[in-house]
């Protein structure tokens, strides 16, 4: 009998190890590639960039950027307190995205959660920072889990004209999603310098990869895409800043959209607005802020200021509600945003995941999150 129990324990242990090994099999690929080692042409372009110094990319705006390498002891204590406030108290309401064609001369947006957003501009579709995995992590065994499902499966997405990535952090660049989109879509991937090395390793054909430095532009499907500045950092492992980060201007004949990606506030938003605005719609990050990293994630009040600097007409908040990536309460970002928008007379819209928003006829803010705190 003891021998049978021992055999069962051995078998169970072996099965657990096998399952863990299977779950971790993709971790090396998830970590991506060192772009400087991925080919001489890419390395030469990176070294020519004004943002590339001493082997890494840097924030070239005059404001300093500080990132704490280790959290303070007080913050470690907060991690174990009030954890319930950092997630919704009930199911996040979802909406089924519309299946009708995009408006031929307007701007419509569908926020899927976190930063993943589909923007329809003058009849074309642009997908920003798509992340469909359960966790933004190199392994689906660890890391923050979704607070709500994605409102539409990847296979049900309409055909898109471009896929734009802001930087290579896991909550903005997801290997599993990229691989699926490579199979199910034909659109090119527009990325900051260096990120093409990750995409190539994950099976994206070279002809579908467009890498740009800040202030470089390309035309895709009749839309003008300009890679613009952001105040952030990059890295999928302990190595940081070997790929560039950025924001995106998307301009049609008459309509313009700005996607900020991840960024701390910086004075350069005024310059982006002067050069490329005004914007019918801005997609601004409002969550995952902290006193420990004030320079790389703006808070809600700074998001409103950046929106006004850009000459934005309507602000749609992103980078909140889906993953817990900081210590603030789950709904605090949108509550602060709503207060600041009222105080500054800024137009905002706060859709539920999957809900379509027409930038020219945005609905009034309903406060749907208030029942979940």
Q: Please give the Cα distance from 138 to 107 (Å, whole number).
A: 34
pLDDT score recorded for residue 26 = 76
Regions in the chain scoring below 50 on pLDDT: 12-22, 68-77, 79-80
Residues 6+ away with beta carbon under 8 Å from 357: 108, 109, 110, 111, 316, 349, 351, 363
3-state SS class at 85? helix
Neighbours of 220 (CB within 10 A): 18
pLDDT score recorded for residue 66 = 59
| Residue where the block lists tokens 């490329």 | 276
Q: Please give the Cα distance from 72 to 276 (Å, whole number).
A: 40
Neighbours of 315 (CB within 10 A): 27
Residues in the chain: 373
User: pTM of the prediction?
Assistant: 0.91
Q: Please give the Cα distance from 251 to 12 (Å, whole number).
A: 57
pLDDT score recorded for residue 20 = 44
Q: Please give the Cα distance from 228 to 59 (Å, whole number).
A: 12
Q: Please give the Cα distance from 149 to 321 (Å, whole number).
A: 11
Of 172, 142, 180, 312, the C-alpha closest to 232 is 172
pLDDT score recorded for residue 9 = 56
Tell me the pLDDT tens digit for each residue of 11-36. 544 444 334 444 567 799 999 999 99
Of 293, 271, 285, 272, the C-alpha closest to 111 is 285
Q: Please give the Cα distance from 90 to 290 (Å, whole number).
A: 25
pLDDT score recorded for residue 79 = 47
Given a contact cutoff of 8 angstroms between Cβ atoms, the answer to whether 233 and 192 are in contact is no
| Burial class, 91, CB count within 10 angstroms (exposed 0-12 / middle 13-18 / buried 19+) | exposed
pLDDT score recorded for residue 17 = 37
């Amino acid at each position: 009998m003891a021998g049978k129990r021992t055999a069962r324990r051995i078998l169970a242990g072996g099965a657990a190890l096998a399952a863990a090994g299977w779950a971790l099999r993709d971790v090396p690929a998830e970590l991506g590639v060192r772009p400087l080692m991925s080919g001489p042409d890419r390395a030469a372009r990176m070294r020519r960039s004004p943002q590339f110094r001493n082997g890494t990319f840097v924030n070239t705006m005059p404001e300093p950027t500080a990132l704490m390498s280790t959290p303070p002891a007080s913050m470690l204590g907060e991690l174990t307190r009030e954890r319930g406030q950092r997630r919704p108290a009930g199911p996040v309401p979802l909406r089924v995205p519309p299946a009708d064609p995009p408006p031929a001369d307007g701007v419509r947006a569908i926020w899927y959660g976190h930063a993943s957003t589909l923007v329809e501009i003058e009849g074309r579709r642009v997908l920003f920072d798509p992340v469909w995995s359960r966790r933004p992590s190199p392994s689906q065994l660890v890391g923050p889990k979704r607070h709500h499902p994605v409102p539409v499966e990847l296979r049900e997405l309409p055909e898109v004209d471009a896929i734009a990535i802001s930087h290579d952090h896991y909550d903005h660049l997801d290997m599993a999603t990229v691989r699926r989109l490579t199979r199910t879509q034909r659109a090119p991937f527009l990325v900051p310098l260096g990120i093409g090395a990750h995409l190539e390793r994950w099976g994206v054909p070279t002809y579908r990869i467009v890498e740009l430095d800040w202030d470089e532009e390309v035309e895709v499907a009749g839309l003008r895409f300009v890679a613009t500045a952001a105040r952030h950092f990059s890295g999928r492992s302990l190595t940081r800043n070997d790929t560039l980060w950025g924001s995106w201007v998307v301009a049609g004949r008459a309509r313009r959209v700005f996607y900020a990606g991840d960024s701390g506030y910086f004075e350069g938003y005024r310059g982006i607005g002067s050069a490329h605005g005004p914007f019918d719609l801005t997609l601004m990050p409002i969550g995952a802020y902290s006193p420990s990293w004030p320079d790389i994630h703006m808070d809600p009040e700074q998001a409103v200021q950046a929106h006004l600097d850009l000459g934005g007409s309507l602000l749609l908040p992103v980078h909140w509600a889906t993953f817990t990536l900081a210590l603030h309460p789950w709904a605090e970002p949108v509550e602060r945003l709503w207060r600041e928008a009222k105080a500054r007379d800024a137009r905002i819209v706060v859709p539920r995941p999957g809900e379509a928003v027409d930038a020219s006829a945005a609905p009034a803010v309903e406060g749907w999150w208030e029942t979940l705190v």
